[in-house]
Amino acid sequence: MTVTLEDWGMITAMPIEGHALTGRVERTNWQQRVTTLIGDCPGAKSNRTSGVPLSWLSEHRKTCPQGADEATVELYALWYILSEVVFPDSSENSANWAYLFFLADWDAGYSWGTASLAYLYRSLDDATQRTGNKSNMGGFVWAFFVWMWERLPVGRLEKMPRRPWKYYSEDGDETRNPTVAYEWDVVKLYTRLKKTSYKTYTNELDALTHTQDEP
């Protein structure tokens, strides 16, 4: 059992068809290329070549300028979503810049859903090999949570009455339809001790049957 592209598309609404986000990432002059793309870039520190510090992003890219045109607003939104939601790394202090150059032509029709699912797979594999007390996992984690809540009756949150979709969509905008994630819009949280939760989850997993697959 694993997350499929169909699952991913229904949860995230990201495109799973189109051009692949692939190719060799050149590190040479990456700061100049980022500056060309977004107009600015943090200064070099030590040998950092794989990401942009989140502290710099928070200071320079957190708030969209007042009166910005539609293209600028979209760029700020995409920057935040891709760097801090879809492709975050496990360090919790930097945003991967490798995919930013694909934003130069957003309408090219890239399969962002496929890329984000592949990135999650790699992040999960990396997480299984971490042993430190402060180890973290990267990737599109909240979407992975939604998939687990849909598929596994273990540690599942309790669904509460949803808020009307009109609070999220605009009148007459037929392109903004709810995804599977909307089913978990309002939930009841449970707070337990980590040791207690771990024992509970492992016991529930051991006791699973083929009939326990409905939310």
What pLDDT is attached to residue 47?
47
> How many other C-beta atoms are found inside a 10 Å radius of the C-beta of residue 67?
6
pLDDT digits (tens, 9 = 90+) for 70-108: 877 877 787 778 877 888 776 666 666 677 677 777 788
Q: How many CA atoms lie within 13 A of 72 on its CB side?
A: 10
pLDDT given for residue 87 in this prediction? 84
Residue 5 or residue 212, greater confidence:
5
Tell me the whole-structure pTM to 2 decimals.
Answer: 0.77
Q: Which of 112, 152, 15, 107 is nearest to 6 (CA)?
A: 15
Could you tell me which residue, 65 or 184, shows the higher pLDDT? 184
Helical pair 112-127 and 5-12, crossing angle rounded to 10 deg: 110
* Burial category of 116 from C-beta neighbours within 10 Å (exposed 0-12, middle 13-18, buried 19 and up): buried
Going by C-alpha positions, the residue among 212, 213, 210, 194 that lies closest to residue 202 is 194
What pLDDT, in 10s, does the model give residues 102-149? 777 778 888 999 999 998 998 888 888 877 777 777 889 989 999 998
If one compares 158 and 25, the residue with the highest pLDDT of the two is 158
Say whether pLDDT at 41 is over 90. Answer: no
| Confidence band, pLDDT 50/70/90 cuts, at residue 44 | low
* DSSP per position, the chain: ----HHHHHHHH----SSB---S----TTHHHHHHHHHS--PPP-TT--SEEEHHHHHHHTSSPPTT--HHHHHHHHHHHHIIIIISB-TTSSEEE-TTGGGGGGGGG-B-HHHHHHHHHHHHHHHHTT--STT----SSHHHHHHHHHHH--SSPPEE-PPPPGGGTS-TT-TT----GGGGGSSEE-----HHHHHHHHHHHHHT--TT----
Which amino acid appears at position 199 of this protein? K
Structure tokens that stand for 108 in this block: 């090219």
